[in-house]
């Protein structure tokens, strides 16, 4: 998909990994990455496995594949000489951010969670498994972006494999189990009018992570895709200020 490619913006010794959401691409992170790079950061935004091409390429990919994509982005930052690392993830990217922070609790100077998903009822795994035998894809009914100009530029898939929904449920179970190991300073941004990931996900994360320093920030004009929606510049500025405060 033109415009869905990963990007790397070299800068200083502070690096920020940007992780996009499910069925999306680094396109949703590009303007944010440019804003962070302008503030002197080195920015890496990998393309998560199975994304940015066709929904068929996503089918068969599992959450360890997505985590491996994130690790590749971290490796690029370290190879550039970044000594302080931040991770910022949107939606699925937020769940992956939490997985990284739980796996290596002292590796990150801070994490930023944007419309992060943490909860899909595990009981849905059984009916989804039945549906997947006859209907391999779930069609997305709408793009959850309030800004019509941003919505017109949206590069997300119009359907998601059922197998992807199943592996996402498995990932979230792993992430919830590890929230007590997340100790990095944490900024949690969420949209009050998010129709994809309800705000209770952000509240749950805030209540269960072990970080002593954690902050919730609510956005009032955007829907789910807050990095490109009406509140995007507030998201970028709040993230940049959080990173600056911890460097």
State the pLDDT confidence band at 235, using cuts at 50, 70 and 90. Answer: very high
State the pLDDT confidence band at 93, using cuts at 50, 70 and 90. Answer: very high
Q: Which of 146, 137, 157, 150 is nearest to 25 (CA)?
A: 157
**Helix or strand or coil: residue 149?**
helix
**Helix or strand or coil: residue 219?**
strand
Q: Evaluate if residue 65 carries a pLDDT over 80.
A: yes
Residues 45, 6 contacting (CB under 8 angstroms): yes
Tokens 């982005």 found at: 73
Residues 53, 5 contacting (CB under 8 angstroms): no
Element (H, E) at 167: helix 162-178
**Active-site residue identified among 23, 25, 90, 194:** 194
Structure-model confidence comparison of residues 130 and 240, the more confident one: 240
Residue 245 tokens, joined: 């405060």
**Active-site residue identified among 23, 24, 91, 202:** 91
Domains of the chain and any CATH numbers: 7-245 (3.40.50.1820)
Verify whether residue 143 is a known catalytic residue: no
Verify whether residue 246 is a known catalytic residue: no
**Active-site residue identified among 20, 51, 90, 224:** 224
pLDDT tens digit sequence for 4-24? 999 999 999 999 999 999 999
What does the angle CA 53 – CA 62 – CA 5 come to, to the nearest 5 degrees? 25
Alpha helical stretches, state H, 18-108: 30-38, 55-58, 63-79, 92-103
Kindly give, in sequence order, each residue whose CB lies less than 8 Å from that of residue 81, ignoring residues fewer than 6 positions away: 13
> What is the per-residue pLDDT for 205?
98
Tokens 């039945």 found at: 130
Verify whether residue 224 is a known catalytic residue: yes
Determine the average pLDDT of the residues in 197-216.
97
Percent of the chain with pLDDT over 70: 96
> What is the per-residue pLDDT for 130?
62
């Amino acid at each position: 998909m033109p415009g869905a490619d990963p990007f790397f913006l070299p800068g200083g010794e502070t690096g920020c990994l940007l992780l996009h959401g499910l069925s999306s691409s680094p396109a949703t992170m590009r303007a944010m990455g440019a804003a962070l790079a302008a503030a002197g950061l080195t920015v890496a935004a990998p393309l998560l496995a199975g994304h940015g091409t066709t929904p068929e390429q996503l089918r068969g990919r599992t959450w360890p594949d997505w985590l491996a994509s994130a690790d590749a982005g971290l490796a690029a930052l370290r190879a550039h000489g970044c000594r302080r690392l931040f991770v910022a993830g949107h939606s699925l990217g937020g769940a992956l951010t939490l997985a990284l922070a739980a796996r290596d609790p002292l590796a990150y100077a801070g994490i930023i969670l944007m419309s992060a998903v943490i909860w899909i009822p595990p009981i849905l795994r059984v009916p989804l498994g039945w549906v997947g035998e006859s209907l391999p894809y779930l069609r997305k009914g709408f793009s959850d972006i309030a800004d019509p100009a941003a919505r017109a530029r949206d590069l997300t898939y119009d359907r998601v494999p059922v197998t992807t929904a199943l592996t996402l449920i498995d990932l979230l179970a792993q992430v919830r189990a590890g929230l007590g190991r997340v100790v990095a300073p944490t900024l949690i941004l969420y949209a009050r009018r998010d129709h994809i990931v309800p705000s209770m996900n952000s509240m749950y994360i805030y209540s269960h992570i072990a970080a002593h320093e954690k902050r919730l920030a609510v956005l009032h004009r955007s829907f789910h895709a807050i990095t490109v929606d009406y509140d995007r510049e507030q998201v970028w500025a709040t993230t940049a200020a959080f990173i600056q405060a911890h460097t």
